Amino acid sequence: MIGLAPGCRQKDDQPSSSGQLWKPKKGTSYVDGLPSEIIWLKDGAEMVLVPGGEFLIGKEREKGSLPPFYIDRFPVTNARYKKFVKETGHRVPFAKQKWAKKLNWRRKNYPKGKAKHPVVLVSIQDAADYCKWAGKTIPTEERWEKAARGTDGRVYPWGNEFDENKCNTHFSGIGTTTPVDRYPQGISPYGCYDMAGNVWEWTIGRLGAFVRGGSFFDGDAEVICDVRVRPQSPMTTKSNNIGFRCCWVPRR
């Protein structure tokens, strides 16, 4: 566990009261008594159920097993992060370097036209603070990977062959973030968007913080589901291509 500030550590068990934290998405199906899709009331995020059970993990596709959990369908967007900033007074995404000039928030507002883009310039601590405010957690590496590749150990969220039309990578030629719902053809087996490309995402591993999923800077080798990168200084690292999504484990 990385050294998150007091009160920001991961807590797997959260109250599962529908009336307080979430509501089932209209028309959703149920798996083992749990709705497949929910709306998280605090931040308005859509979350999808990843059913419990065995799956294949890592480059060697070793067997793993997890209880059921929910994960955000999309990375946290600038619009959702603004709600968090407004309610808590948390610092806005900002970096002093010249490359960050077009991405920095001004007067607590994100760059124009970027409401549905993933929030960037956020450290692992910023991500943890958002998750604490929302009543959720940063995904563990295992949960993130299962949500990205399902149970069959596939290479990419959509299958085993790279397709540059299913994600925002170096090959797209865009060179920056895109709206989180731009690539519906690249969703994971559970319906998660952008788990390959657009931005790397913060996760928690046994040895600390890692980013997963690759970004718009990267090629087909970096957006593979099992690729993991550990930033040198995760508590202070802020990048134009690192964001995050949230996770929640229901108490059964």
- Cα separation of 186 and 204, whole Å? 24
Alpha helices, H only, the chain: 78-88, 124-134, 141-149
The gap from C-alpha 180 to its chain's centroid, in whole angstroms, comes to 11
In sequence order, what are the beta bridge partners of 109?
106
How many angstroms separate the first and last alpha carbons of the chain?
Answer: 24
> How buried is residue 200: exposed, middle or buried, by Cβ count under 10 Å (0-12/13-18/19+)?
buried
Q: In CATH, what class is 13-250?
A: alpha beta
Quote the pLDDT of residue 14.
43
Provide the token pair at 170. Answer: 């170096």
- pLDDT at site 18: 47
**Residue 138 confidence (pLDDT):** 98
pLDDT in tens, 16-73: 444 589 999 999 999 999 999 999 999 999 999 999 999 999 999 999 999 999 999 9
Taken in order 101, 91, 126, 46, is the CA torsion positive or negative?
A: negative
Q: pTM surpassing 0.95?
A: no
Report yes or no: 218 and 170 within 8 Å, Cβ to Cβ: yes
pLDDT of residue 19: 52
Tokens of 73: 């369908």
Q: Which two tokens stand for residue 115?
A: 């409401």
User: How far apart, in whole angstroms, are the C-alpha atoms of residue 93 and residue 149?
Assistant: 30
Cβ-based burial of 54 (10 A; exposed 0-12, middle 13-18, buried ≥19): exposed
Low-confidence ranges of the chain (pLDDT < 50): 1-18
How far apart are the C-alpha atoms of 146 and 57, rounded to whole Å? Answer: 7
Q: CB-based contacts of 102: which residues, under 8 Å, 6+ apart? A: 111
Structural domain spans, the chain: 13-250
